[in-house]
Amino acid sequence: MNTVETMKFTKRDLVYLDTIEQAWDGSELKVDDDDVRIWLNPRENRAYDGDYTRETRINGKWSQTKCYFE
């Protein structure tokens, strides 16, 4: 069984999800399940942030992982 922590997303998956929130840099929050958040990054930030960012809460602090579409 896949959890949000281990799931891989396609661009199509994320584009078609509703945007929960938009960050100051244009990233769009697409998934928020309290301990994991998935942000779709704008094209101009992908060289630095990846295609999307997975944030995972560990001991109350958020850790970010760059993710890329396959």
Torsions phi, psi for 8 (to 5 deg): -105, 145
Asked if 56 and 62 touch (Cβ cutoff 8 Å), the reply is yes
pLDDT in tens, 10-65: 999 999 999 999 999 999 999 999 899 999 999 999 999 999 999 999 999 999 99
Strands 36-40 and 52-58: antiparallel
* Predicted local confidence at residue 8, as pLDDT: 87
Domain boundaries, given as residue ranges, for the chain: 11-67
pLDDT at 1 over 50: no
